[in-house]
Amino acid sequence: MRDFKNLKVWEKAHRLTLDVYRATEGFPRDERFGLTGQLRRAAASIATNIAEGCGRDSDAELGRFVAMAAGSTSETEYHLLLARDLGYLDPEIHARLEAQTFEVRKMLAAFLKRLKADR
């Protein structure tokens, strides 16, 4: 069992989630249960899956949750793109959040590779 708060990738995923929450505060009210909620859940799911995987008993189980977190980065990336294209998200803010998402995805891939090598 690992302490997820000690993982740099979790810290970056948590920061991404906080930034997504702030960026979506100005989305249209009628999107609260639509795109706003979807984007927030997708971003939060990245850090959540890392944390849950750290509470599991084996590296194989942790790896499964890290892979799910990686899938959530793709979902987040799409929702960010959709928000930008709908005009809800400023292109500059989109670029920053997209870069953060890409960085987290790369870190998750490296973490997953290391977990598989340790087996």
Number of domains in the chain: 1
Question: What residue numbers bound the domain in which 16 lies?
Answer: 4-117
Per-residue model confidence (pLDDT) at position 116: 85
Distance CA(105)–CA(108), nearest Å, equals: 5
Residue 105: give its domain's CATH number: 1.20.1440.60
* pTM of the predicted model as reported, rounded to 2 decimal places: 0.94
Two structure tokens written together for 69: 């977190």
pLDDT digits (tens, 9 = 90+) for 62-118: 999 999 999 999 999 999 999 999 999 999 999 999 999 999 999 999 999 998 887
Sign of CA dihedral 117, 69, 108, 12: negative
